[in-house]
């Protein structure tokens, strides 16, 4: 009896101990669950804060890059104004005719200027070294035959034409711009609707179906393939009419496209002549008696007679008033943004015609 009485409390104690352990275990699980939720919430808040910080930093970086690009544009305008002043001063001193050629300070190098902790690269090229793509169609959207032939010769002149079909590329470009029914062309139905109007920007070239991407962008060169220019390098949206091509800056492909009578030999002769000194007048071309430059013409017609000064449709010039300014903002070698500007230079100053911004803000 005495032993039985001592066993009951021991059993009750065991029960109470097990109960306390169960409660403690449940409490521990609850605490762990709450801690897990708190850790998850804290991580989520930290991640969200990180995203917000990164986004804010990207926006600040983008804004800084855009201001830097504008500073680069101001510097480019200064270079172009200085060039005009130098031409006027030299003309007064020695009576020479002013020219615009790649040997001048604005076109002889890629310029770099510091803007805060950024660097802006500036490249200025002559817009009149290019052919006006929007001349392919008139105001009514009808194809103009003479510009179409020039475009055909331009595509034919590409050194890698064996890799493309020039006529297919030409038809794609013309069909994108002419007033054919929406989405219906000689090439079939476009995946994207044709513009049926002149181009707003050269970036549209990349959207044209059947137009080889290499034709548009060109190639900067590898061991297997020599570099060559693309349509973005050879074309412009155009400007004043009649369009004048600067014979001092036009590349081989543009010179070949100007006339059916132009040959590789004539172009190489012009390139060699202007490499020695800029061409100061169109008469200088004739007086230089460049070998074979008038060959292939009939009835006394000459190279300059076909391509000479206005009002000729394919007018030539030795100067320019339109420039393309390519700008790139960098931080420690990392590109933040690019822009392309077209400016017109007049006796009163340098004015902006177009500004196309291409932000490329990279990751942290």
Domain-wise residue ranges, the chain: 1-129+250-259+314-364, 131-238
Q: Which range has the top average pLDDT, 8-12, 139-143, 162-166, 229-233?
A: 229-233
Burial of 16 (0-12, 13-18, 19+ CB in 10 A): exposed
Domain 1-129+250-259+314-364 belongs in CATH node 3.30.1300.30: yes
Q: How far apart are CA 138 and CA 154, in angstroms?
A: 20
pLDDT of 131: 94
Per-residue pLDDT at 155 exceeds 80: yes
Per-residue pLDDT at 267 exceeds 70: yes
pLDDT of 166: 84
Least confident of 166-170, 201-205, 236-240: 236-240
Q: Which range has the top average pLDDT, 38-47, 193-202, 271-280?
A: 271-280
Name the band, by pLDDT with cuts 50, 70 and 90, for residue 184: very low
Which tens digits make up the pLDDT trace of 325-353? Answer: 999 999 999 999 999 999 999 989 999 99
DSSP 90-138: HHHHH-PPP---TTSTTTSS-EEEEETTEEEEEEEEEGGGSEEGGGGB-
Q: Which CATH number fits domain 131-238: 1.10.357, 1.10.40, 1.25.40, 2.60.40?
A: 1.10.40
> Which residues on neighbouring strands pair with residue 327, listed in sequence order?
122, 339
Taking the CA atoms of residue 297, residue 301, residue 303 and residue 308 in that order, the dihedral angle to the nearest 10 degrees is -150
Name the band, by pLDDT with cuts 50, 70 and 90, for residue 168: confident
Name the band, by pLDDT with cuts 50, 70 and 90, for residue 88: confident
pLDDT of 254: 94
Average pLDDT (59-81) is 92
pTM as predicted: 0.77
Q: Which range has the top average pLDDT, 204-213, 243-252, 285-294?
A: 243-252
Name the band, by pLDDT with cuts 50, 70 and 90, for residue 58: confident
pLDDT of 182: 47
Name the band, by pLDDT with cuts 50, 70 and 90, for residue 49: low
- The H or E element spanning position 317 is strand 316-317
Per-residue pLDDT at 148 exceeds 50: yes
Least confident of 70-74, 75-79, 142-146, 186-190: 186-190
Q: What is the mean pLDDT of the chain?
A: 78
Per-residue pLDDT at 293 exceeds 90: no
Per-residue pLDDT at 364 exceeds 50: no
DSSP 185-233: -TT---SS----S--S-GGGGGGSTTS-HHHHH-B---SSS--B--HHH
Q: How far apart are CA 45 and CA 262, in angstroms?
A: 69
């Amino acid at each position: 009896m005495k032993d039985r009485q001592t066993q009951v409390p021991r059993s009750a104690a065991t029960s109470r101990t097990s109960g306390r352990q169960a409660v403690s275990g449940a409490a521990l699980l609850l605490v762990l669950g709450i801690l897990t939720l708190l850790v998850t919430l804290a991580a989520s808040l930290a991640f969200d804060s990180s995203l917000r910080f990164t986004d804010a930093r990207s926006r600040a970086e983008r804004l800084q890059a855009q201001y830097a690009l504008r500073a680069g544009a101001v510097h480019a305008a200064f270079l172009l104004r200085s060039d005009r002043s130098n031409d006027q001063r030299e003309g007064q001193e020695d009576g020479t005719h002013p020219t615009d050629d790649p040997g001048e300070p604005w076109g002889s190098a890629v310029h770099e200027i510091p803007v805060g902790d950024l660097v802006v690269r500036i490249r200025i090229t002559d817009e009149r070294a290019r052919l006006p793509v929007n001349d392919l169609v008139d105001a009514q959207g009808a194809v103009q035959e003479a510009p179409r032939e020039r475009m055909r010769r331009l595509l034919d002149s590409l050194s890698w034409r064996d890799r493309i079909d020039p006529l297919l590329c030409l038809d794609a470009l013309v069909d994108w711009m002419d007033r054919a029914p929406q989405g219906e062309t000689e090439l079939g139905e476009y995946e994207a609707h044709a513009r049926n109007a002149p181009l707003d920007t050269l970036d549209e070239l990349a959207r044209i179906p059947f137009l080889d991407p290499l034709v548009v962008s060109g190639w900067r060169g590898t061991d297997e393939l020599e570099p060559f220019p693309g349509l973005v390098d050879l074309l412009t949206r155009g400007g004043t009419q009649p369009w004048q091509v600067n014979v001092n800056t036009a590349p081989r492909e543009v010179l070949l496209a100007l006339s059916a009578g132009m040959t590789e030999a004539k172009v190489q002769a012009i390139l060699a002549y202007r490499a020695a000194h800029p061409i100061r007048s169109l008469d200088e071309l004739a007086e230089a008696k460049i070998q074979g430059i008038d060959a292939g013409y009939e009835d006394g017609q000459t190279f300059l007679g076909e391509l000479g000064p206005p009002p000729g449709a394919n007018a030539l010039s030795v100067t320019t008033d339109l420039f393309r300014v390519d700008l790139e903002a960098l931080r420690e070698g990392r590109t933040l943004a690019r822009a392309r500007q077209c400016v017109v230079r007049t006796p009163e100053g340098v004015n902006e015609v177009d500004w196309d911004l291409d932000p490329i803000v990279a990751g942290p």
